[in-house]
A = this chain, B = another copy of it.
Amino acid sequence: MQPTTPLAKFLPYQLSITSNAVSGRIAQEYRSRFGLSVPEWRVMAVLGDSGSLTQRELTRRTLMDKVAVNRACKVLEERGLAVRTPNAQDGRSHHLDLTPAGVAMHGQIMPLAVEMERALFDGFTAEEMDQFRSLLEKVRGQVRDFDDDAIESDNYGVS
C-alpha cells in the first residue's frame, strides 16, 4: 500500500518504528492500569525479582541511565511501593525493597507482562522467537563493535 521509499527498506528505520509501536502500546497499558511509566515498571520488575538492590545495581540490570533509575525509585518510594533502607556497607547508597503494596502490584504486573508478550508475539513459533531474540542480541553486539571502530577514516566529504 505504501509507496516504496528507500526509507521503508532501511532496516534501522524498521527497527525504530517497530520498537516505538511496541513500547508505546506497552507504556499505554502500564499507565492506564497501574499509573506506572516504563522506567518505573522496569525497576519494579527487577526489584520484585531480586529485592534489596542499590540504585547502582538497578542501573546495571536495567541498562537505564542512573538518573532515570533515581527518578523511578523516587516515585516508587513516594507512592509507597518501595522503601530505601541505609546501606551499612556503603554510606553513599541504600538498599531498595518493595513494600507489601509493591509486592502486591508486582504480582499483578508480571502476569500482565507475560500476557502482553504473548499477545504481541502471538502466531510466532518458538523458533521464530528464539531467532528474533538472537538476532537482536547480534545487532547489539555489532553496535558495540561499531562504536569501537568509529569510522573516523572517511568522513564523506564533510569536515
Contacts and interface: CB of A to CB of B under 8 A. Distances in A.
A46 B119 contact: no
B7 A46 contact: yes
Given A7-B61, A139-B121, A146 B25 contact: yes
Contacts of A17: 63, 140
A14 interface: yes
Interface residues of A, number: 69
Contact of A108 (B8, B23, B116, B157): B157
B112 A22 contact: no
Contacts of A15: 18-19, 22-23, 136
9 contacts: A2-B61, A7-B61, A15-B23, A15-B136, A22-B143, A33-B158, A112-B156, A119-B142, A128-B135
Given A7-B62, A135-B132, A116 B12 contact: yes
Given A11-B121, A62-B7, A21 B143 contact: yes
B121 A6 contact: no
Nearest to A139: B18
A127 to B, nearest CB: 11
